[in-house]
Chains A and B, each alone.
With several copies, the nearest count.
Chain A
């Protein structure tokens, strides 16, 4: 791993960081229990036609709280444990994280919305991870996750969520996108290198993006591109993902197209040896504040995930609209979801050829446009494509994002594009999208429709 060593040194020269003993870390990964690797579970699952893996969300400031959360999850028969990172750490603001962690520990009050992994350090955290001996998935939202990922893998966390696009455009206002690509290149390499020692480290892209009226074509393109960036660096196990969109059929179509195209593009770059998985997020948009309703929504998400044929489902809780969910609420969702998966049987195989064809053409056209960018490397092509609006993510807070594409829901709640902006949606696909919508409304009522469409689950 000498290649990375110079960059590594810079990253680690940070007052809040554990002194890393890389030899020891390598040794640890080499001899780590296979159970800790989600890639191992995915392998078993596809061998035995196993059930969908269930992964909740959850991160608390203190070690004690996180440990207690895991105990609850294990009782509820969890498949994959989450480690959600607080938002200061996500913005590399370890100083504030440290301060808030101390306040949380002293005051019996949560001053952080997740687990500040860097401040806790890998030596401490590893104790917890190996104690439970379940695969852990790192959820963060960090553009510069280099230090975080080093700490995570050293802790025994062998699935890393995120990517330069999906963790930047929804999660940041002005972090430089080009830097993000380079930082993530580092992350991919670290994952690829460690993958050689035992089971592969799984990388997972964050398909939900802003969870707000993102059309499936944009989601899929970004999933495919992050997959390619990752496989290029040697990653051998990758999960594409998306979240519930509001229409069961659109979800099923999205699942079919993303699976097909992920395989296609992995082959195109000579990486058909990598295994690709599909992850489905329960509804990620604005939740109902009525907790009973939230549970209905969550259950419905599970049913749709099954229809989509996901390999893993990431859950929400009845408390989503209220604030960071309690461990009880989190564990309840896991138990409920497992029950639902157990009793849900006789799923039909649904295919909508027309919708699949349209979506495939949209994705191909955007991918084509990205590849046609004159830059020399894939990440630069993507960078340029985002900058010039070939890729445009609705409701991204990031300054580089064009924010020109406008989407609304049709009568069946499919997300449809009514203004392409600069995204190269082919003419007849665009006509198809618009044909489902009422475009004779004035601007005010379209704005009202959009507000309504954001809140459809409330």
Chain B
């Protein structure tokens, strides 16, 4: 399965992104890693270009909130993205926040899976559970 991944916005925290690539590979995905400092349009462009079924966004430095408000609007501009599985993880808020409230908020923004401060592999496990359930 094809996955597009990267770190959103002006965020340059690269360590988790490198590990993410390793983990996805190990799990048998075909990975298109856009790296850090990737803006929303670039993610959607890459999804369209590669025909990926999954978009996996990281955010570590607290910017996610600002960008995610624009997700639905932007996504609507593209065709054929209705079945795209959208996942986001990392530090999804500035300062401390409650995981359940954060999850609710990001689901409203258009994400199917929200992993605030969840370990990479736990997160990818829940992705696989999600995919299994959907089929």
Contact = CB atoms under 8 A, between A and B. Distances in A.
A88 interface: yes
A113 B62 contact: yes
5 contacts: A93-B10, A174-B37, A319-B96, A322-B117, A323-B95
Contact of A111 (B10, B66, B96, B117): B66
Given A171-B12, A174-B37, A326 B95 contact: yes
Contact of A113 (B12, B61, B96): B61
Nearest to B14: A397
A100 interface: yes
Given A87-B61, A322-B117, A173 B36 contact: yes
A396 B22 CA distance: 17
A100 B94 CA distance: 12
A32 interface: no
Nearest to B17: A397
B104 interface: no
A87 B94 CA distance: 12
Select the residue from B11, B18, B35, B94 with max chain A CB neighbours within 10 A: B94
B37 A87 contact: no
Contacts of B62: 87, 110, 113, 323-324
Interface of A: 87-88, 90-91, 93, 96, 100, 110-113, 170-174, 210, 212, 286, 289, 319, 321-324, 326, 395-397, 447, 451, 454
Contacts of A286: 15
Give me the 5 closest cross-chain CB pairs, A-B, nearest first: A397-B14, A173-B37, A110-B94, A113-B62, A323-B95
Nearest to B23: A451
B10 A87 contact: yes
Contacts of B10: 87-88, 90-91, 93, 96
Contacts of A96: 10, 66
Interface in B11-55: 11-15, 18-19, 22, 35-37
B63 A113 contact: yes
Interface residues of B, number: 24
A357 to B, nearest CB: 32
Contact of A289 (B36, B95, B117): B117
A173 B36 CA distance: 7
B94 A210 contact: no
A172 B15 contact: no
B103 to A, nearest CB: 15
A92 B65 CA distance: 20
B95 A110 contact: yes
A212 B12 CA distance: 13
Given A173-B35, A451-B19, A397 B94 contact: no
B58 interface: no
B5 interface: no
Select the residue from A87, A322, A323 with max chain B CB neighbours within 10 A: A323
Contact of A395 (B14, B61, B66, B117): B14
Contacts of A447: 22
Given A87-B10, A322-B95, 20 more contacts: A87-B11, A96-B66, A100-B66, A111-B94, A112-B94, A113-B62, A113-B63, A113-B94, A172-B37, A173-B12, A173-B35, A173-B36, A289-B117, A324-B94, A326-B96, A395-B18, A397-B12, A397-B14, A397-B35, A447-B22
B118 to A, nearest CB: 11
Nearest to A323: B95
A233 B5 CA distance: 43
Interface string B73-107: 00000000000000000010111110000000000
B12 A172 contact: yes
Given A87-B61, A113-B61, A174-B37, A323 B97 contact: yes
Nearest to B93: A323
B96 A210 contact: no
A321 B66 CA distance: 20
B65 to A, nearest CB: 7
A99 to B, nearest CB: 8
A172 B35 CA distance: 11
Nearest to B22: A447
Contacts of B35: 173, 397
B15 A322 contact: no
A88 B15 CA distance: 20
Nearest to B13: A397
A170 B12 contact: yes
Nearest to A173: B37
B62 to A, nearest CB: 4
